[in-house]
Each structure stands twice: as C-alpha cells, then as structure tokens.
C-alpha cells in the first residue's frame, strides 16, 4: 500500500494536541484536502467510532467510510477505511523533553488496478506529501 509518513514536534502539551486532532469537527480544519468528516455513529471518539470522509485531490473527490480501529487516549488514533476509497491513517503522540509533543502520522492508500489506478496514483503521490506538510503547518497554527 503506497503512502507517506511524517513526524514533527509542536510546542504544546500532548493532551491538548491529542484532544484537537481527536475532535472530528477539527479534521477538515487541519487535514489538508479533507472537505467532509462526519460521524456515522453516536460515538464520535474512540475505538469503533465511524465517519464519512471526503478528500479532494485536484479535480477528483474521493469518498470513504473510516472506522477508528485503534485508539489510546493521548497516545494513538488509527483510522481504517471500511468502504469507498481505501485509506488508513495512524497518528501517534509522545511527550518531548521540553513539554511539547512529538506527533507522527502515517497515511497509506489503496489504488484501483489498471489505467484508473495509474492515473489516481499520479495525482495522489505528490498530493500525499504536500497534504502531510500542510497538515503540520495547519496544526502548528491552530493548536495553542
């Protein structure tokens, strides 16, 4: 599964960073390209919570249903696609020595076969790297 990984530090305590990333209402604000992230279950946080997501990649909108498959408060959020565009996202959070937070994110995606898959791969490859870098910038600006 192709994808991209990125890590950075934020000068904000881990509990605050985790709470911001974990709040589904913030996802379209910080996650570059995400235009929709709406709960499909009453539970909006933690293992088993499920969301409808839309990701704009250039002229194409990719839709997916994702479920939180692993979740440890203030440490880990893992989302896996259960329908639609196949993508998995894993966030992990650790304390830094200066009271900030080390944030790691991995984004992996599945491409369809054939010509459509190659065309989508040509869009997603450069987009994924840009999206992760812009997401980091957005988090730094939004979390205080």
At 115, which CATH number? 3.30.530.20
Is residue 117 pLDDT above 70, yes or no? no
Is residue 114 pLDDT above 80, yes or no? no
Is residue 126 pLDDT above 80, yes or no? no
The structural domain count of the chain equals: 1
Is residue 31 pLDDT above 80, yes or no? yes
pLDDT of residue 109: 76
What whole-number distance in Å separates Cα of residue 102 and Cα of residue 122?
Answer: 31
Range of the domain at 113: 3-142
Is residue 92 pLDDT above 70, yes or no? yes
- Residue-averaged pLDDT of the chain: 88
Q: Are 137 and 29 a contacting pair, CB within 8 Å?
A: no
Is residue 113 pLDDT above 90, yes or no? no
14-22 and 114-142 are packed helices; what angle lies between their axes, rounded to 10 degrees? 140
pTM for the complete prediction? 0.88
């Amino acid at each position: 599964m192709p994808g991209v990984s990125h890590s950075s530090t934020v000068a904000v305590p881990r509990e605050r960073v985790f709470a911001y990333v974990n709040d589904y209402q913030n996802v379209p604000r910080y996650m570059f390209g995400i235009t929709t992230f709406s709960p499909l279950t009453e539970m909006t946080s933690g293992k088993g919570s499920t969301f409808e997501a839309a990701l704009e990649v250039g002229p194409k909108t990719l839709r997916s249903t994702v479920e939180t498959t692993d979740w440890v408060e203030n440490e880990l959020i893992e989302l896996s696609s259960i329908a639609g565009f196949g993508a998995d996202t894993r966030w992990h959070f650790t304390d830094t020595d200066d009271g900030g937070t080390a944030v790691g994110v991995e984004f992996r995606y599945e491409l369809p076969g054939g010509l459509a898959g190659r065309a989508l791969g040509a869009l997603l490859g450069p987009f994924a790297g840009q999206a992760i870098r812009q997401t980091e910038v957005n988090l730094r600006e939004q979390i205080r």
